[in-house]
Amino acid sequence: MGIKVAADGTVSLSAPQQSAGTGLGQAGIMIGCGFASFINHRFGRRKSVVIMSIIALVGITIEMTASTFGGSIDTAHVYTKDGHFRYWQLVIGKLINSLSMGLAANVIPTYQSELAPAKWRGMIINLYQFIQIVGVVVCTASVYALSERTTYVAWQVPIGLQYIAPVLLLLGISLMPESPRWLVWNGRSAEAIEILRKLHGADSSYYPEVEVSELETAYAAEKAAHQPSLFDVFRGPDLRRTLIATGVQCLQAAQGSSYMTNYIVLFLQALGITDIFKIVMTVYVVYLVAVSGSFYLPDAFGRRPLMFLGAFICGTCLICVAAINAGTSMDPIPSSAQRTMVGLIFIWYFFFGLIWSPLTWIVSAEVCSARARETTLTVATFSGFGVNLMISLVSPYLQDVSYGNMGSNIGFLWGGFTIASIFFVYFFVPEMKGLTLEQLDYLFDHEVSTFKFQNYPFPELWLTQNNGEKTVSMAVMGRGEVGEPELEKS
């Protein structure tokens, strides 16, 4: 488990330390996901944001205090237990900080999906992924800028930048309204009406009482039909929704996203690249630009065609990189081959950031039913981060020359999973573009085929509301056991 010191004096973490340092962070995210459903359901979205922010602050502080300030980084400080640097304290801090990330992966997309209008849902949920990548770019830039420093500021500054997000969330929590759906489900309809009225501003054609009345009717019908249970997500129509959300989360990681995020430096080293920091910084900027494109694409072109395209291109890139490296027997690898492989990595980052990275969260958030949204998303994210954990633990051993010695040939493995992703999306993931959450409830409850979600002839009553747009009356969408509320027409 010790530090590796090369012949030239270069200090690096051993494969077990890389595995544990990265894997325990993923384990922390999984634990956070495991508690997310209870916290989200019991305390609501706003208080859950406060809880996850406080946990993040505790974890970051433990990371920051893993060494004394000052001094330089050298082999003695790394090896000894003199208080200069405590690697395992850093790992424990990361584990605690990761708990908040697991909560965020459930709380934020749920909150966004419940507040967003159907036509803007993809764009709004994409903000979650976009802000994450902004953080990655900022921290990577700080690492690059400080890479020549030999003092502890070289790693304390990037870690300290993590304070920004939880501090901003705590400062801005007073501006964040509670989810109207959560308020209705907890008998606080008057507050839900007031929040909806503020969200819609001076729109005289919008009646918040109508929306809240329909939410009450839908909730009452579901409650009358059966008592909600933790196991709802594993039976009936919710099982299908759980499998879809879990499938896209797991396949996102299995396509190589977890590996490319955590071990991009090792991957570039395996390709014989030397100017790694500059390349990593550039690919993350490309990634950020690509994620920005997903503010528009999912709501304009739909989920399914984009996911097909993204899986095909990303899989092709990784397989080609592995094939070029495997077919090159020269050492060092020729510069022309290196440039080609780096170019393919840039293409991978662009299309993954443009498509699968944001769409995984969009699909996972919108596919969950109203009655089991928190639990379904918890199961899906727990499973997805579980795959991330396995990849994080195994990848260093697969690549290390002392173990699997796969090097960049590991691209064949991740590229192969994209084939499974294409088949999964085709047969199981319906097109949910432009459909309200209540329409999706109807389609899944009535077991409508994956291929018939768009332009489905709903048998429900349509009402004119919201500037003439069609809005569904949930009371008659297969929930006729409860009387339809009286609705005021504009």
Instruction: Residue 403: give its domain's CATH number.
Output: 1.20.1250.20
The residue type of 488 is E
Indicate if 9 and 151 belong to the same structural domain: yes
Indicate if 68 and 156 belong to the same structural domain: yes
Given this model, what pLDDT does residue 303 score? 94
Q: By C-alpha distance, which of 252, 327, 305 is closest to 433? A: 305
Indicate if 461 and 384 belong to the same structural domain: no
Q: By C-alpha distance, which of 132, 77, 72 is closest to 100? A: 132
Q: Which residues of the chain have pLDDT under 70?
A: 1-15, 18-19, 68-85, 222-230, 329-331, 399-405, 407-408, 460-490
Q: Establish if 55 belongs to a structural domain.
A: yes
Q: How far does Cα 451 stand from its chain's mean position?
A: 26
Residue 272 has phi, psi (to 5 degrees) of 85, 15
Q: Establish if 488 belongs to a structural domain.
A: no
Indicate if 220 and 350 belong to the same structural domain: no
Token pair, residue 432, equals 């949910």
Indicate if 326 and 457 belong to the same structural domain: no
Indicate if 92 and 151 belong to the same structural domain: yes
Contacts of residue 35, Cβ cutoff 8 Å, sequence gap at least 6: 99, 102, 103
Contacts of residue 71, Cβ cutoff 8 Å, sequence gap at least 6: 77, 84, 151, 152
Count Cβ atoms within 10 A of the Cβ of residue 275 and give its class: 0-12 exposed, 13-18 middle, 19 or more buried: exposed
Q: pTM value?
A: 0.75
Indicate if 82 and 210 belong to the same structural domain: no
Q: By C-alpha distance, which of 315, 179, 299 is closest to 251? A: 315
The total number of structural domains in the chain stands at 2
Answer yes or no: are the C-beta atoms of 132 and 104 closer than 8 Å: no
Answer yes or no: are the C-beta atoms of 29 and 149 closer than 8 Å: no
Indicate if 189 and 330 belong to the same structural domain: no
Helix (H) or strand (E) holding 470: strand 469-472
Report the alpha-carbon distance of residue 377 to residue 371 in Å, rounded.
Answer: 12
The position carrying tokens 């969330």 is 169
Q: Establish if 434 belongs to a structural domain.
A: no
Indicate if 114 and 14 belong to the same structural domain: yes
The angle subtended at Cα 391 by Cα 387 and Cα 397, nearest 5°, is 155
Q: Establish if 436 belongs to a structural domain.
A: no
Q: Establish if 489 belongs to a structural domain.
A: no
Indicate if 273 and 409 belong to the same structural domain: yes
Indicate if 339 and 395 belong to the same structural domain: yes
* Ordered alpha helix ranges (H), 356-372: 357-367
Q: By C-alpha distance, which of 167, 153, 21 is closest to 94? A: 21
Q: Establish if 298 belongs to a structural domain.
A: yes
Contacts of residue 149, Cβ cutoff 8 Å, sequence gap at least 6: none
Report the alpha-carbon distance of residue 350 to residue 129 in Å, rounded.
Answer: 14
Q: Domain range for residue 342?
A: 4-176+229-428
Q: Establish if 433 belongs to a structural domain.
A: no
Given this model, what pLDDT does residue 295 score? 87
Contacts of residue 41, Cβ cutoff 8 Å, sequence gap at least 6: 374, 375
Given this model, what pLDDT does residue 386 score? 87
Given this model, what pLDDT does residue 462 score? 38
**Residue that terminates a domain, selected from 428, 457, 484:** 428
Helix (H) or strand (E) holding 465: strand 462-465
Report the alpha-carbon distance of residue 477 to residue 488 in Å, rounded.
Answer: 19
Indicate if 340 and 215 belong to the same structural domain: no
Q: For the segment 8-62, what is each residue's pLDDT rounded down to a tens digit?
A: 555 566 667 766 777 788 788 889 998 998 999 899 999 999 999 999 999 999 9
Buried b (16+ CB within 10 A) or exposed e, 160-184: bbbeebbeebeeeeeeebbbbbbbb
Q: Establish if 443 belongs to a structural domain.
A: no
